[in-house]
């Protein structure tokens, strides 16, 4: 078994032609089942690829190690982002799907941002829910107009507003087409997140068709 194929994951077949597949990336303590319902709500009919993070923090799955809350082990972030990229590539071949749009929440959003910066070709775009800057000195990525939606919470105790703004600028500087909105919410998701993500994905799908 190769490193990347060692991810535990769920895959749900899509049933709508032209609907972008989604790569669902859960938050700390979640698993491969967590975001399936969210994925189906924001992009009905899309194929859903949902891996479980392979790092355990006190028994809670995550996508990379951290030294403290909001302080990341960046060497591990880089390594795990590439591992996730390799997983996406092999899962695409196995299931015959196009490059997915990542939908990540919290720790899942942070690894999605790292994947965009480390291996942009792995993703068609990303919805980053409560994301932070994953790498202080990322490689020079060329995101060539890749669509990215960042939804931050105004009262998020984990993600300072300035940090989310830096992530938005970092991805835009690398060439991504970033939409960044800050909602009257905390770290948890709200109905507004679901609505905005759904409308944004529909507009991305409409541009591809
Ligand atoms: C992280 O570790 O990725 C962030 O602090 C978000 C979290 O998982 O709490």
Q: How far apart are CA 6 and CA 75, in angstroms?
A: 20
Locate 63 and state its tokens: 């996508």
Does ligand 1 come within 6 angstroms of the Cβ of 107?
yes
Task: Write the pLDDT tens digit of every residue in 134-192.
Answer: 999 999 989 999 999 999 999 999 999 999 999 999 999 999 999 999 999 999 999 99
Report, in angstroms and rounded to the nearest whole number, the Rg of the chain calculated over CA atoms: 15
User: Containing H/E element for 182?
Assistant: strand 177-183
Q: Which residues are catalytic?
A: 106, 156, 187
Q: Of ligand 1's atoms, which has the minimum distance to the CA of residue 158?
A: 5
Q: How far apart are CA 118 and CA 85, in angstroms?
A: 9
Cα 171 to chain center, whole Å?
Answer: 13
- Give the 3-state DSSP-derived string for 98-120, with helices as H, strands as E and coil as C: CCCEEEEECHHHHHHHHHHHHCH
Does ligand 1 come within 6 angstroms of the Cβ of 194?
no
Q: Give the max Cα distance, the chain.
A: 45
Task: Write the pLDDT tens digit of every residue in 37-66.
Answer: 999 999 999 999 999 999 999 999 999 999
Strand partners, 152: 182
């Amino acid at each position: 078994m190769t490193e990347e194929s060692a991810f535990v994951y769920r895959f749900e077949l899509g049933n709508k032609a032209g609907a972008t597949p989604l790569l669902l990336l859960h938050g700390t303590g979640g698993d491969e089942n967590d975001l399936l319902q969210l994925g189906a709500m924001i992009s009905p009919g899309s194929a859903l690829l949902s891996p479980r993070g392979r790092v355990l923090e006190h028994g809670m799955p995550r996508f990379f190690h951290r030294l403290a809350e909001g302080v990341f082990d960046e060497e591990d972030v880089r390594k795990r982002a590439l591992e996730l990229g390799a997983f996406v590539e092999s899962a695409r071949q196995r299931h015959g799907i196009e490059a997915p749009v990542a939908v990540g929440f919290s720790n899942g959003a942070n690894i999605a941002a790292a994947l965009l910066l480390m291996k942009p070709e792995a993703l068609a775009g990303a919805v980053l829910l409560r994301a932070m800057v994953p790498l202080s000195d990322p490689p020079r990525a060329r995101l060539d107009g890749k669509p990215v939606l960042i939804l931050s919470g105004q009262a998020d105790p984990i993600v300072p507003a300035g940090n989310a703004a830096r992530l938005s600028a970092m991805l835009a500087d690398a060439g991504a087409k970033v939409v960044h909105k800050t909602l009257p919410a905390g770290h948890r998701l709200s109905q507004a997140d679901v609505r905005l993500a759904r409308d944004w994905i529909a507009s991305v799908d409409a541009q591809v068709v």
